[in-house]
Amino acid sequence: MMINAKTAATPALLPAGGSTAAIRCERAAAELRYGRPVLIRGNDGATLAALALDAADRAAYEAFGAALGDRHDLFLTPTRAAVLGLTAPTGALLPLGGIGFAEACHLGYLRGAFRLRDWREGGPLESEAALAARLALLLPAVVCGRVTADNPAFADAVSLELGDLDAANLANLGRFEVVARTEVPLKGIESAEFVIFRGGLAQRDQVAIVVGDPDRSRPVPVRVHSSCITGDLFGSLKCDCGDQLRGGLKTLEERGGGVLIYLDQEGRGTGIAAKMRAYGMQGEGLDTIDADAQLGFGADERRYEAAAAMLSGLDINRVDLLTNNPLKVAYLRACGIDVVSRTPVLGPLTAQNTGYLRTKSRRGGHMLDQLFEG
């Protein structure tokens, strides 16, 4: 049979006009992780080339500097700039002309004494580049510089539009879909159904565990737990995560049913590599917040849109949240979840986790008084 190409309705294989903001972000993240430069285009025609210092090697760093005629800078987040003694609310740009790879890494994310020369404030393009590095689970120290459209060194580079990261996050909110659900027998828990959602940036798979048969006519007990490979899986004594995970599941069962959302947000959203770097610095005496600041991160880099979308997908809106973290409550409320009440979720205080938990209480605002008084 002949098909008339003009009249047959064929679904669009690729979106008209090329890629979406989300796809540009994911392509850029992949390039950055391979130590390759990406371009960020502003509204005014200005274009920034950026390379994530964390993933680049010496050769890539030197080639980038050469392509920019040695007029490149190191962008540091406001937090990292403060570690270097600079007050830079929009981040700091340190000129890299004549500075080698090792010294750039030192300035970007290592501890120590610094010889700072001139610097200036960063702008929105540089901040977007650092955000892209974070999306790629890299440290937010970015080597960057303005380029012209005719610079042949960047002819094949993937490019982002300014604002893509925000647009992509928003656009992906409604796109969490259930791809699988099945019962998995868990030690000490009568009934647990794993519900796997796919969505958000990078279309990653995220896990919700429905324990028992939650009563949706009342606020549903919910634990939103960020992954902690060291604590959840290997029983690290440095934190309370493993105890909170297992204790949380037990509480959901005792309450007649509830949901645990297990979010792919290792290291408060910084990733396992950054968390281990931070642990190294904690071994040198820094607390959990100051160690993250050395690497350029704020006290908590997590987002909860995925959790809110998954709860909605499970037809749950009114919740009793199992947490000690008031920021988590506020964030979920801002995402439209009606957090009616909060239930503390405490693990035992041990010699190894006391310092960490005390910092969370004193500097992170976590409600842990009960633990320290008890």
Ligand X SMILES: Nc1nc2c(ncn2[C@@H]2O[C@H](COP(=O)(O)OP(=O)(O)OP(=O)(O)O)[C@@H](O)[C@H]2O)c(=O)[nH]1
Is 241 a residue that touches Zn ion (CB under 5 A)?
yes
Q: What is the per-residue DSSP string for 10-79?
A: ---SS-TTS--HHHHHHHHHHHHHTT--EEEE-TTS-EEEEEETTT--HHHHHHHHHHTTT--EEEE-HH
Helices (H), strands (E): how many in the chain?
A: 14, 14
Q: Which residue in the list 287, 302, 303, 315 is annotated as catalytic?
A: 302
Say how far apart CA 157 and CA 35 lie, in whole Å: 12
Out of 135, 208, 228, 278, the residue judged to bind Zn ion by CB under 5 A: 228
Residue closer to Zn ion (CB basis): 228 or 295: 228
Q: Which residue in the list 44, 300, 318, 320 is annotated as catalytic?
A: 300
- Partner from ligand X, Zn ion, none binding residue 288, C-beta < 5-8 Å depending on class: ligand X
Q: Shortest approach of ligand X to residue 135 CB, angstroms? A: 16
Say how far apart CA 369 and CA 292 lie, in whole Å: 24
Say how far apart CA 270 and CA 259 lie, in whole Å: 25
Interface region with Zn ion, contact rule CB under 5 A, candidates 208-216, 221-229, 287-295, 320-328: 221-229
Q: In the annotation, is 36 catalytic?
A: no
Residue closer to ligand X (CB basis): 133 or 143: 133
Q: Token pair 């510089």 is at which residue? A: 145
Residues 95-123 as b/e (b if ≥16 CB within 10 A, e otherwise) read bbeebebeebbbbbbeeeeeeeeebeebb
Residue 285 annotated as binding?
no
Residue closer to ligand X (CB basis): 36 or 225: 225
Out of 31, 164, 243, 292, the residue judged to bind ligand X by CB under 6 A: 292
Is 323 a residue that touches ligand X (CB under 6 A)?
yes
Residue closer to ligand X (CB basis): 47 or 244: 244
Contact between 132 and 30 (Cβ < 8 Å): no
Q: Token pair 């570690």 is at which residue? A: 83
Say how far apart CA 198 and CA 143 lie, in whole Å: 33
Interface region with ligand X, contact rule CB under 6 A, candidates 12-20, 30-38, 139-147, 261-269: 261-269
Interface region with ligand X, contact rule CB under 6 A, candidates 91-99, 140-148, 204-212, 223-231: 223-231
- Partner from Zn ion, ligand X, none binding residue 36, C-beta < 5-8 Å depending on class: none
Say how far apart CA 165 and CA 305 lie, in whole Å: 14
Q: Shortest approach of ligand X to residue 57 CB, angstroms? A: 25
Q: Shortest approach of ligand X to residue 270 CB, angstroms? A: 5
Is 311 a residue that touches ligand X (CB under 6 A)?
no
Q: Tokens for 291?
A: 């160690």
Cα-to-chain-centroid distance, residue 369: 28
Contact between 300 and 269 (Cβ < 8 Å): yes
Q: In the annotation, is 134 catalytic?
A: no
Interface region with ligand X, contact rule CB under 6 A, candidates 144-152, 171-179, 208-216, 224-232: 224-232
Kindly list the distances between the CA atom of residue 187 and the CA atoms of 135, 184, 223, 238, 291, in Å, as whole numbers in the listed order.
Answer: 35, 10, 18, 24, 35
Catalytic site positions? 300, 302
Q: Binding residues for Zn ion, per CB under 5 A?
A: 228, 231, 239, 241
Q: Which residues are annotated as a binding site for GTP?
A: 223-227, 244, 266-268, 288, 323, 328
Q: Binding residues for ligand X, per CB under 6 A?
A: 225-228, 239, 241, 244, 265-268, 270, 275, 278, 288, 292, 323-325, 328, 366
